[in-house]
Structure 1
Amino acid sequence: MSTKKLLKIALTLMISVACFSCVEDDDYVIPASLGDEENEGLTAIMDSIASGDITEISISELVALYTGTVTLIESDIVVKGYVTSSDRTGNFYKEFYMQDAPENPTAAIGVVLNQVDSYNQFNLGREVYIKLKGAYLGENSSEVVTIGGQADGDQVDEFTANQIPNFIFRSENTMEIVPLVLNPSEVNSSHLGMFVTLENVQFPMSLAGKTFLEPTDDFDTQRNLVSCLNGFEFPIETSSFANFIQEPLPTDGRGTISGVITQSYGGDDIVMVLNDTSDINFTEDRCDPVFEESFNTAIDNTTLNIDGWINYAEAGSVVWTEQVYGGNGYAEFNPYNSGDTSNIAWLITPGIDLDSQDGEVLTFQTEHAYPDSGHEPLEVFISTDFDGTEAGIATATWQPLTFDVSYVVDYDTWFTFTDSGSIDLSSYSGTAYIAFKYTGSDSSNENMTLHVENVLVTVP
């Protein structure tokens, strides 16, 4: 943690202590009108846009101007947005995010400013105009494209208190921000700064009794949500300065959760940050699965050895391995540089009881790398007469399952998993085994790396 960030945190504590006795959150009321100076400043901007002295650009056009280094903006341009974040609970600090429309946004951007309790002025949904000439465009400490008033090395720094009234103007409009509804696996970097609702999610029961902040964490805690659609895990990040850090996580149901999509400090992970816990709406029963394997017990770069699973090489020297990237575990098959003329390897689940419930659905995720000439190495099968032994693989009846698959063809989208889609298992009964079978060849350039993640059988 940088000295600069520690100083900022200390300042927040001093301000909070000084103001606690004189300001209560419950007394907060959004001003009904703007001050004269604000009205005059915004009127001047609108007049300049109308006369052509200033050009209004969209957030997406502004983001496109970012070239990878902090840049001083020298053109007479202005950008408009709608605030998506709130620092009222302390989960955001000296920043806000804004998107280009109250509903169905296409782009968003961050704003850093030397102002605490900015929700009093730049409240959720507030329409904001920012004069950009003399401002800086770059990335914040989470590597999200951001507007600021200064440059600090390779990062953009805050608008000072003196700069704020000359650059940032709110209109009288406060709009309802209609969240963009997504499944967790659909979230990507294009959503950074947007207010998003994740559907059909829950916290795993392993977090029952836990609070939003891990008591031993000094600054931030990530708690994973799990999608009931496909088992995809997505982190919720909470600052140690949020006022809800000691609230227990809601683990007794599932539903929707809404917040701002951003990145963790240093830009390592895409995360959701809550404005308030009132944006959690878990009103449905949990979707605890019939079978689940997230591979999160994986030990990086070791032979896959999970209780009940069979890891068997029918041909060649390579077997499935356990891998971990960014804290996420998964199964990998990689025959590259093995020299094998044939690689056939099975990864088979433990037996799954299909008689205790009806309407089972299988989902999983896959990801390909180093694509070859178009050879698809993965087949997925189900068997209800397999005896659970390596010797019995050859004699069992394996019925193929149809699933969605896509190739990752460049390094920029490496570690982008593809959902299998919902695979109906309701016609099967008894004890079933799901097999992931890799077929390829290192010597014939059919040696792409394959990842399998979040194998899940549920009753939707």
Structure 2
Amino acid sequence: MKNLKYIFLALCCSVLTTACMNDNFDEVYGNVRGNDQIKETNVVTIEQLKAKYAQVLGQQYGYAQITDNLQLKAYVTGNDREGNFYSQIALEDGTGAMVIAIGENGLFSYLPVGTEILVNLKDLYIGNYGYQTQIGTLYTGNKNEVSVSRMSSARWEQHFTYTGKNVKVSPMVFDQSKVKDSQYLVANAGRLMTIKGVTFTDGGKKVYANKADIVNNNSCERELKGLNKSNIVVRSSTYADFAATTLPTEKVDITGIFTRYNNKWQVYIREISDVQPAK
């Protein structure tokens, strides 16, 4: 009986300990990411960073390792919340936009839109994939072209920290009259924008993405009426939560991360609510 009593007491203590840990789960384990040893020292703007590496960024797949102690302080405008803008986040700081490629899913869980972060750039790479500027590590493609692509999750953890500030994010209105303007493309690639009053060419007929229409990388491109598909498309992954949703028939306002592939705009909506009836 005495042994049973001790066993019962041990079990009670175990339950109480677990309960206490659960009560403080978020405090101890929740959302503790990044490297809190990073301190703000030598911050440059996105505009300044691109200017510093202008020669490299003038090449389709140009790249360079960042060897100086430089930092970016910027806020998140896009993440992988519904699986479309996956393994990357989009950042802005008021001077420009930048994509950071990270080999990880669930980025939205600790990098929600509006979160301001400080990124230590030293030893990372800056470069282009089809002229879309991004930060990451090097990747060699099927045709032996080297470009900047996704860094490991472990590496990313060592290169960012939170500033403690959250920003209200508002998209810029896309100027349709400049859809073919190369300077407009260079200045705004990677930015959160809204294209207003447009209609999907295949509205009511096709879904955002399916296997039958894959262009590459498990993604599909949908055209907009009156706008040449060589200039702009809405691009969606077959893995996006909204992939099987039928394209709307009415005029809509589309918000998303407006990325660049060579001389074409590729619009990545972040979640299905980014497509709204035109106002």
- Shorter-chain TM-score bucket reads 0.7 to 0.9
Q: 1:214 to 1:185 in 2, by over 3 A?
A: farther
Match of 1:259 among 256, 260, 271: 256
Match of 1:209 among 205, 212, 223: 205
* Equivalent residue, structure 2, for 1:61: 48
SS of residue paired to 2:74: strand
Deviation at 1:255, TM superposition (A): 3.5
Deviation at 1:78, TM superposition (A): 0.5
In the TM superposition, 1:315-394 aligns within 5 A as none
Q: 1:151 to 1:170 in 2, by over 3 A?
A: farther
**Maintained 8 Å contact 2:83/2:240:** yes
Amino acid at match of 1:136: Y
Cα distance in structure 1, aligned partners of 2:158 and 2:169: 26
Cα distance in structure 1, aligned partners of 2:191 and 2:274: 14
**Maintained 8 Å contact 2:36/2:161:** no
**Maintained 8 Å contact 2:103/2:151:** yes
RMSD: 2.6
In the TM superposition, 1:165-314 aligns within 5 A as 165-187=157-179, 188-189=184-185, 190-204=187-201, 206-218=202-214, 219-226=218-225, 231-233=226-228, 234-251=232-249, 253-264=250-261, 267=262, 269-283=264-278
Alignment of 1:87 with 2:80, yes or no, is yes
Give a deviation string over 1:213-249, Cα, whole Å, max 9, x none. 24412422111223xxxx4444111111111111011
Amino acid at match of 1:240: T
**Maintained 8 Å contact 1:34/1:172:** no
Q: Which runs of 5+ in 2 are unaligned?
A: 1-25, 57-61
Taking every aligned residue pair, what percent have the same amino acid on both sides? 23
Deviation at 1:172, TM superposition (A): 2.4
Cα distance in structure 1, aligned partners of 2:278 and 2:128: 38
Q: Which runs of 5+ in 1 are unaligned?
A: 1-28, 50-54, 285-460
Cα distance in structure 2, aligned partners of 1:241 and 1:121: 21
Deviation at 1:192, TM superposition (A): 0.9
SS of residue paired to 1:211: coil
Cα distance in structure 2, aligned partners of 1:214 and 1:168: 35
Cα distance in structure 2, aligned partners of 1:162 and 1:270: 31
Amino acid at match of 1:158: R
Match of 1:73 among 54, 66, 79: 66
SS of residue paired to 1:133: coil
Alignment of 1:121 with 2:124, yes or no, is no
Q: TM-score, normalised by structure 1?
A: 0.47
Deviation at 1:71, TM superposition (A): 0.9
Cα distance in structure 2, aligned partners of 1:81 and 1:92: 18
Deviation at 1:123, TM superposition (A): 1.5
* Equivalent residue, structure 2, for 1:156: 148
Q: 1:167 to 1:38 in 2, by over 3 A?
A: closer
**Maintained 8 Å contact 2:203/2:248:** no
Greater RCO, CA 8 A, separation 6+? 2
Q: TM-score, normalised by structure 2?
A: 0.74
